[in-house]
């Protein structure tokens, strides 16, 4: 084996990073190794959220990157990659807080909303959730039933949202509702009368995430709750593209961790003629294909990051990376689980926990089907959905 090639960075992409990009990746990696991996399996088993990790996550200073005048999206992507080595659920805290809510307020908010929320959200002093999905409208949010109506002092909202990540811990919810048939965003403190946030329990995937259902019953809001710059579903979609970008990077971390752990195991596990499993041809064949898939994931994310830093990324490019990297990550996790044999089903060995969490990642922020339709529409010029 070559001295210089790392099994999960065969094209030496990390060598092309800047010092500061490498520094943030190392900082997040150290936190994940020291604080997350030693405890996350137990929290997963208990279906409990490791809230004690939040202060340490805040000190990593990841979200302020997004508020820079010219954000280094590659540095941000690397942070997402390293977080998801630990858990897709922790990466999701950031994708929702940063890509969805912080982005929405920064892009569509009033000066007053920016002054009130950007800082506490960037430092994780306040948590936020993004409530778009409803019980009857997931892939097709344009059908949403949640309604806002104008009142003398502001707005009144009624509706039902489901699957909001960070929901039960959130101080503020960005709720999407129709006002005169136009989809608008409202920033709502979760302790307002009429807001009922209920935990969704019994999940097999995302057991360490605070997933909530929101019932909005005659919630009265001031004028200042409305995001003035978002007056169509396009506003919500622009936020989703930010979060999808972080998924394209995060899934690399999950896949790298599965592959790293599996290669180590295969070198130490002896079967047939007292030879390590890693020496068998069928096993090496599987490892080589996983390395190829991982490398395409890395190349795609890095190029997307370059386009994003240049302000040139297109929604179809983000969809392609989200759809491809989720699919490849889950395939790698499943193959690694298989190669670990019985050992692979234990939560303590992380691979199967990553695999079941990736089932959510494949589904949220636009399912794989929906992203294929976005890419298909780009390829053909024909929209297969409305």
Candidates 208, 364, 374, 375; binder of ligand FAD (CB under 6 A) is 364
**Distance between CA atoms of 333 and 47, rounded to whole angstroms?**
21
C-alpha dist (Å) from residue 89 to 120, 215, 300, 376: 21, 23, 22, 29
Which residues between 300 and 329 bind ligand FAD (CB under 6 A)? none
Q: How far separated are the first and last CA of the chain, in Å rounded?
A: 51
Candidates 363, 376, 377, 378; binder of ligand FAD (CB under 6 A) is 363
- Minimum distance from residue 248 beta carbon to ligand FAD (Å): 16
- Minimum distance from residue 129 beta carbon to ligand FAD (Å): 6
Candidates 78, 79, 164, 252; binder of ligand FAD (CB under 6 A) is 164
User: Which one of the listed residues 210, 213, 313, 365 is annotated catalytic?
Assistant: 365
**Binding residues for ligand FAD, how many (CB under 6 A)?**
21
138: contact with ligand FAD by CB under 6 A:
yes
> Which among 186, 176, 177, 170 is positioned nearest to 129, based on CA atoms?
170
Task: Name the one range near ligand FAD by CB under 6 A: 244-252, 278-286, 332-340, 359-367.
Answer: 359-367
Task: Name the one range near ligand FAD by CB under 6 A: 74-82, 254-262, 286-294, 367-375.
Answer: 367-375
Angle subtended at Cα 366 by Cα 99 and Cα 225, rounded to the nearest 5 degrees:
45
Return the number of the residue (7 or 141) whose C-beta is nearest ligand FAD.
141
Which residues between 89 and 108 bind ligand FAD (CB under 6 A)? 96
- Catalytic status, residue 223: no
In contact, 146 and 176? CB cutoff 8 Å: yes
360: contact with ligand FAD by CB under 6 A:
yes
- Between helix 233-268 and helix 351-363 the angle, nearest 10°, is 160
Site string for ligand FAD, 178-217 (x = CB under 6 A): ----------------------------x----x------
Residue whose beta carbon is closest to ligand FAD: 138
Residues that bind ligand FAD (CB under 6 A): 96, 129-133, 138-139, 163-165, 206, 211, 360, 363-365, 367, 369-370, 385
Provide the annotated active-site residues: 365
């Amino acid at each position: 084996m070559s001295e210089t090639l790392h099994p999960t960075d065969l094209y030496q992409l990390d060598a092309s990073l800047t010092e500061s990009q490498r520094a943030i990746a190392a900082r997040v990696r150290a936190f994940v190794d020291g604080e997350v991996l030693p405890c996350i399996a137990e929290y997963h088993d208990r279906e409990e959220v490791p809230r004690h990790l939040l202060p340490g996550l805040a000190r990593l200073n990841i979200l302020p990157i997004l508020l820079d005048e010219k954000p280094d999206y590659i540095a941000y992507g690397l942070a997402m990659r390293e977080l998801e080595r630990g858990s897709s659920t922790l990466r999701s805290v950031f994708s929702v807080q940063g890509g969805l809510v912080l982005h929405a307020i920064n892009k569509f908010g009033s000066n007053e909303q920016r002054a009130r929320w950007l800082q506490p959200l960037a430092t994780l002093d306040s948590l936020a959730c993004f409530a778009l999905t409803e019980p009857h409208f997931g892939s097709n949010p344009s059908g949403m039933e949640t309604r806002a109506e104008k009142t003398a002092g502001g707005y009144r909202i009624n509706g039902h949202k489901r699957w909001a990540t960070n929901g039960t811990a959130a101080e503020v919810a960005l709720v999407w509702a129709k006002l005169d048939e136009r989809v608008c965003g409202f920033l709502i403190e979760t302790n307002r009368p009429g807001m009922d946030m209920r935990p969704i329990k019994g999940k097999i995937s995302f057991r360490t995430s605070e997933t909530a259902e929101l019932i909005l019953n005659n919630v009265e809001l001031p004028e200042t709750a409305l995001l003035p710059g978002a007056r169509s579903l396009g506003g919500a979609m622009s936020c989703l593209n930010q979060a999808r970008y972080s998924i394209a990077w995060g899934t690399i971390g999950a896949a790298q961790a599965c592959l790293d752990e599996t290669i180590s195991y295969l070198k130490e596990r002896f079967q047939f003629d007292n030879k390590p499993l890693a020496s068998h041809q069928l096993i090496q064949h599987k490892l080589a294909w996983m390395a190829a898939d991982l490398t395409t994931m890395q190349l795609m994310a890095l190029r997307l990051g370059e386009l994003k830093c240049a302000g040139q990324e297109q929604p179809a490019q983000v969809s392609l990376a989200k759809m491809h990297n989720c699919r490849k990550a889950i395939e790698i996790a499943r193959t690694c689980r298989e190669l670990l044999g019985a050992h692979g089903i234990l939560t303590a060995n992380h691979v199967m926990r990553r695999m079941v969490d990736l089932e959510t990642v494949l589904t949220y922020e636009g399912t794989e089907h929906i992203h294929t339709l976005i890419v298909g529409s780009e390829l053909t010029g024909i929209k297969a959905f409305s």
